[in-house]
């Protein structure tokens, strides 16, 4: 892979909730088109890292550079940035007052100012990609968890994001639904979209990732290619964590 300017670069990111220093020093770069997986023990700060990246939480120190510009600088167009960085939540968070199609068109119409026709066409195509075409009229609470998560993915990609964040997209799902979501994500990976994925699905991570980061205790304890990270991790903590899954 040619080393160009990273699309996103975290530099010594810190986050404190009251007295509790949750993120101590998170730094990593991600290149255009790369897929990065974040693993690590519960409470290690994975979700907080993702939430800082799209500013659902405000970092207390450090830099988040998007195309080389620090988004934390005053005056940076935050809503425009957020529109370019999509997020898929563990709990789906579909808009419950909108049906499937509307969930995917509202962002493009309101934020990207697309015409309703154009927004609908894109949404239809994306819903087709995630296999949810038949359910355009359904309301979120009429769908299974796996179906909701696939709509959430379609909603995110309808914004035509440059970067897509996933926070444990399959851990709220029954086992038989996990695969339908992972399949969709693999399809996306193949399109060259830049993604950061927090997951415990190691087989999946190994298959799609360009790099894997192990976040624990608020720092990136170790990072590297899947082959290195999953087969020959340097740290004992990483090995211990992995043993859990391979057992």
Partner 1 sequence: MKSRLTACLASLLVLCSLLLGFGQFQSVQAAKHEPTLKIGMEANYPPYNWTQTTAAHGAAPIDGSKQFANGYDVQIAKIIGRHLHRRVVVEKTQWDGLLPALTSGKIDLIIAGMSPTADRRKVINFSQPYRKSTFVIIVNKASKFATAKGLNDFSGARLTAQQGTLHYDLIKQLRGAKRENAMTDFSAMRQSLQSGTIDGYVAEDIEYESYHRVNKNIVAINLSRMKGFKVAKSDAITSIGVKKRNTTLLRQTNRILATISAAKRVALMNAAVRQQPRAGDSQTKQEKHENLFVKIMNQYGGMILSGVGMTLLLALVGTIVGFVIGLLVGIVRTIPTPTTRSKRILLRIVKWLLSVYVEIFRGTPMMVQAAVIYYGIAQLWHINLNRTVAALLIVSINTGAYLAEVIRGGITATPQGQFEAASAIGMSHSQKMWHIILPQAIRNCLPSITNEFIVNIKDTSVLSIISVSELFFVGTTVASQTFEFFPTYFIISVIYLILTFSITRIFNLIERRLAGPKNYDLMGNQLQVGLMESEIQHDDKN
**Contact residues for Mg ion, defined by CB under 5 A:** 47
**CA distances for 39 relative to 13, 49, 145, 161, 216, angstroms:** 18, 12, 23, 23, 9
CB of 4 to partner 1, least distance (A): 26
Which of 242, 226, 129 lies closest to 185, judged by CA? 129
Paired tokens of 219? 């720092």
Given 3-state DSSP classes, what are the helix, strand and coil percentages for the chain, each rounded to the nearest 5?
A: 40, 25, 35
Using CB under 6 A as the binding rule, whether residue 48 contacts ligand ATP is answered as yes
Using CB under 8 A as the binding rule, whether residue 89 contacts partner 1 is answered as yes
Q: CA quadruple 201, 203, 207, 211: dihedral positive or negative?
A: positive
Using CB under 6 A as the binding rule, whether residue 22 contacts ligand ATP is answered as yes
> Of 234 and 245, which CB lies nearer to Mg ion in the complex structure?
245
Helix axes 145-158, 100-110, angle to 10 degrees: 20
Q: How many CB atoms lie within 10 A of CB 144?
A: 13
Using CB under 6 A as the binding rule, whether residue 17 contacts ligand ATP is answered as yes
Using the contact rule CB under 8 A, the part of the chain among 40-48, 177-185, 195-203, 228-236 near partner 1 is 177-185
Using CB under 6 A as the binding rule, whether residue 91 contacts ligand ATP is answered as no
Residues of span 124-143 touching partner 1 by CB under 8 A? 131, 133-139, 142
Using CB under 8 A as the binding rule, whether residue 54 contacts partner 1 is answered as yes
CB of 45 to ligand ATP, least distance (A): 4
Using CB under 6 A as the binding rule, whether residue 44 contacts ligand ATP is answered as yes
Using CB under 6 A as the binding rule, whether residue 59 contacts ligand ATP is answered as no
Q: What single string gives the DSSP state of each residue in 202-246?
A: HHHHHHH-SEEEEEETTEEEEEE-HIIIIIS-SSHHHHHHHHHHH
Using CB under 6 A as the binding rule, whether residue 169 contacts ligand ATP is answered as no
Q: Which residues bind ligand ATP (CB under 6 A)?
A: 17, 20, 22, 40, 42-48
Q: Which residues bind partner 1 (CB under 8 A)?
A: 54-56, 79-87, 89, 91-99, 106-107, 110-111, 131, 133-139, 142, 155, 159, 179-180, 182-184, 186-187
């Amino acid at each position: 892979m040619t080393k160009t300017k990273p699309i996103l670069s975290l530099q010594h990111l810190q986050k404190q909730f009251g007295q509790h220093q949750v993120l101590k020093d998170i730094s990593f770069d991600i290149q255009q088109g790369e897929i990065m997986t974040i693993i690590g023990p519960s409470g290690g700060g994975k979700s907080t890292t993702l939430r800082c990246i799209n500013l659902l939480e405000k970092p207390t120190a450090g830099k988040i550079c998007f195309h080389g510009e620090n988004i934390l600088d005053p005056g940076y167009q935050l809503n425009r940035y957020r529109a370019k960085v999509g997020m898929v939540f563990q709990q789906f968070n579909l808009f419950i007052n909108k049906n499937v199609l509307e969930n995917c068109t509202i962002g493009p119409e309101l934020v990207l100012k697309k015409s309703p026709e154009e927004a609908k066409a894109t949404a239809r195509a994306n819903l087709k990609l995630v296999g949810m075409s038949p359910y355009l009229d359904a309301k979120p609470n009429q769908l299974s968890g796996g179906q909701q998560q696939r709509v959430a993915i379609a909603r995110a990609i309808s914004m035509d994001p440059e970067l897509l964040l996933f926070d444990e997209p399959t851990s709220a799902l029954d086992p038989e639904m996990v695969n339908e979501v992972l399949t969709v994500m693999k399809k996306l990976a193949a399109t060259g979209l830049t993604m950061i994925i927090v997951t415990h699905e190691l087989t999946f991570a190994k298959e799609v990732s360009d790099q894997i980061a192990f976040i624990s205790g608020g720092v990136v304890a170790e990072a590297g290619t899947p082959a290195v990270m999953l087969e020959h991790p340097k740290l004992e903590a990483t090995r211990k964590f992995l043993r859990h899954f391979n057992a």
